[in-house]
Chain A
Amino acid sequence: MSAAGTAGSVAAADGSTPCPVIELRDARKTYRSGEIEFEALRGVDLSVHQGEYVAIMGPSGSGKSTLMHALGCLDTLSGGSYRLDGVDVEDRGDDELADIRNRKIGFVFQQFHLLPELSAWENVALPLMYARVPLAERRERAALALTKVGLGDRLENRPGELSGGQQQRVAVARALVTEPTMVLADEPTGNLDTVSTNDVLGLFDELNAQGRTIVLITHEHDVGERAQRIVWVKDGVVERDRPTARGEATAALSSGGAE
């Protein structure tokens, strides 16, 4: 819902990218456990531009989860700098970070993380509540977002009454409802069967085609190949960063609406 998000969508439509959505410079993260220090990130440089669909891949222990937490402003870096949508994220308090997450990032988690006692639309409207959007508008926007993910007829259902694939669609709707600068998906298909996986990935394709920036963390190759670009992380550094076949095709067409 931020002004930057709206401007970004417009920028993506004509392919120009004045300011990267993600600008990570020499990002470092060190965990201390007693005497033992563990460097999860050892100088990661990463830029993601408006409208990109990036998959971050890597084996477990590679640091990709740490990277996801840093990108999602869920955790702070030990060193380096992170600019999200032109805003310096370093040295911010917890509540400021909460506000940044609320306005700029739409999360999709492996475990869905829907609240079981809330209906689909109430779950979707949750981030709007923290953005202090009035109730009537919240309901309207939640219904719109659910319609977008194909669940316009399930507004009042609780998560328990929905299939895994449908639950993840609700989570995607929740990620979209604030019109965030980027959607950050952490293993979004990890708990889904093949049909639902295709379902959700198809949804991401659509969103990206509409100009939405998507960063997807996965360890599944075929999921990663759905993105336009794969960033390989290993031992806390970026090992490879290359466009996928789809990404090259899209670039060749130089148009976002190929699907």
Chain B
Amino acid sequence: MNWNETLQTSWSAVKSHTMRSLLTVLGILIGIAAVILTVGLGLGTQKDVSEQISSLGSNLLIVSPGSSTSSDGARGGFGTGTTLTRADAEALASPVSAPDIAAVAAEKSTSLVLEANGTNWTTTVTGTTESWLEVRSREVAYGEFITEEQDAEGAAVVVLGSETAEELFGTPRAVGSTVSIDGKTFEVVGVLASAGSDSSSNLDDVAIVPLSTVANQLVGGTDSRSVSTIYLQAAQASQLSAAYQEATQLLLNLHGITNADSADFSIDSQDALVSTATSVYQTLTVLLTGIAALSLLVGGIGVMNIMLVSVTERTGEIGLRKALGAPGWAIRRQFLTEAGILGLTGGLAGALLGIGAALLLPGIIGSSIVVSPVAVALSIAVAVGIGLTFGVYPATRAAKLAPIDALRSE
């Protein structure tokens, strides 16, 4: 009995019980589709996150305020403090003390209500300087970006995100209009080109005003000097490390901190952000894949169950084949092949379903699903493996049946 004959025999056995085989295959199918989808979702999320993070700009270091240690030693969470100031940003921009830092943009953001022509719209108002445009790799679609002069005089001018302009004026061509922010009138001098959204915010729904204007007119109080983030840009990726050193040293000096461990700021690179975000999603993916794998296990038990039924039901056939001269291994191989076919069919159908769902679902749930060919190939191999593994016991039982016992059963 060669492989071709084994395959034919097993295939006809699978075919002769269509309903039963289909239900068995369904167990494997669901498991495989689930594995492909969860792995795909994990990979897709990773891709999204790294795209979002790289959309911040290129060769960036992100300085966030930490928390200064208060007199009683309590520390707040990073990012909550007000330890970064505009003076810090200006010092970092010095080509003498930080030669590897090419550009600096400080941001001070706050959420405020914008009003134009009776339309109210709440958005993130970000105070920053001229360099922001280049550092964040953004472009102006209409009008112009805020200038150093406007910052110096604290001009009441605003550059709107494309979506913000759309919401307020019904068109991105809003240059020259006026908008009221927190009750104060601002002139729209420019509208940004669309850039999509990053992990935490819609990049097109912003209002950019000069940093000094935010500090003096919109926030005020003791917070007015602080900034929420400073973006540092190195001219080249190879200078990032040097830029990181310089920025750390400079800020420690400026803040009068001798021990780097008690720094009241943190500097992250995009790579670090990507890997942090990625590791979170990886954990999630592993967890989900584990659950999907469990469903595969259940599918495998289904295969074993059906194969045992098949062996019991076909005791007569097994006995006859043995009486006619089939050795034990030929019987074992026949039933193993049958289990393998169930696994393979489930694997292929599951892969198709998984790929199909991966194409359809992103439109519904909004996150990308990356179908990795390796994952698909592996899942199919695993499906066959599961069929074979769970087929071993039934097949061995079939092979060990004594021909007389088997023939008697009918």
Give A contacts to B, CB under 8 Å: 69, 72, 74-75, 94-95, 98-99, 101-103, 107, 109, 111, 113, 115, 117, 126-127, 129-132, 174
Contact = CB atoms under 8 A, between A and B. Distances in A.
B286 to A, nearest CB: 45
B1 A98 contact: no
Contacts of B19: none
Contacts of A98: 322, 325-328
Contacts of A75: 402, 404
Contacts of B404: 69, 74-75
A130 B1 contact: yes
Give the interface SS of chain A, mostly helix, strand, loop or mixed: helix
B323 A74 contact: yes
B325 A113 contact: no
A175 B404 CA distance: 17
Interface string B211-241: 0000000000000000000000000000000
Given A129-B5, A130-B1, A113 B407 contact: yes
Nearest to B323: A107
Which of B13, B324, B407: most chain A Cβ within 10 A? B324
Nearest to A114: B320
A69 B405 CA distance: 11
Contacts of A74: 323, 402-404, 407
Given A111-B410, A115-B317, A127 B402 contact: no
Interface string B368-410: 0000000000000000000000000000000000111001001
A117 B329 CA distance: 22
A130 B326 contact: yes
A113 B320 contact: yes
B190 to A, nearest CB: 77
B361 interface: no
A44 to B, nearest CB: 17
A102 B317 CA distance: 16
A15 B320 CA distance: 33
Contact of B325 (A69, A109, A127): A127
B12 A117 contact: yes
Nearest to A96: B327
The 7 closest A-B pairs by CB, nearest first: A102-B325, A95-B327, A130-B325, A127-B324, A113-B320, A74-B404, A98-B327
Given A111-B316, A132-B1, 15 more contacts: A72-B323, A74-B323, A75-B404, A94-B328, A99-B327, A101-B323, A103-B325, A107-B324, A111-B410, A113-B320, A117-B13, A129-B1, A130-B326, A130-B330, A132-B2
A127 B12 CA distance: 18
A113 B410 contact: yes
Give the interface SS of chain B, mostly helix, strand, loop or mixed: helix
A158 B322 CA distance: 21
B327 A130 contact: yes
Contacts of A107: 323-324
Contacts of B410: 111, 113
A177 B232 CA distance: 88
A241 to B, nearest CB: 25
A109 B328 contact: no
A87 to B, nearest CB: 15
B316 A113 contact: yes
A133 B28 CA distance: 37
Interface residues of B, number: 25
A98 B317 CA distance: 15
B321 interface: yes
A171 to B, nearest CB: 10
B16 interface: yes
A176 B104 CA distance: 95
Interface in B1-25: 1-2, 5, 12-13, 16
A126 B329 contact: no
13 contacts: A74-B404, A75-B402, A98-B322, A98-B326, A98-B327, A99-B325, A101-B325, A102-B324, A103-B325, A109-B320, A109-B407, A126-B324, A130-B326
Interface in B295-323: 316-317, 319-323
B330 to A, nearest CB: 7
Nearest to B327: A95
Nearest to A113: B320
Which of A72, A74, A103, A127: most chain B Cβ within 10 A? A74
Contacts of B16: 117
Contacts of B402: 74-75
Contacts of B13: 117
A95 B403 contact: no
A126 B323 contact: no
Contacts of A109: 320, 407
A111 B406 CA distance: 13
Contact of A130 (B317, B324, B407): B324
Nearest to A131: B325
B291 to A, nearest CB: 39
Nearest to A115: B317
B317 A95 contact: no
Nearest to A130: B325
B320 A115 contact: yes
Nearest to A175: B324
B113 to A, nearest CB: 77
Contacts of A126: 321, 324
Nearest to A134: B2
A107 to B, nearest CB: 6
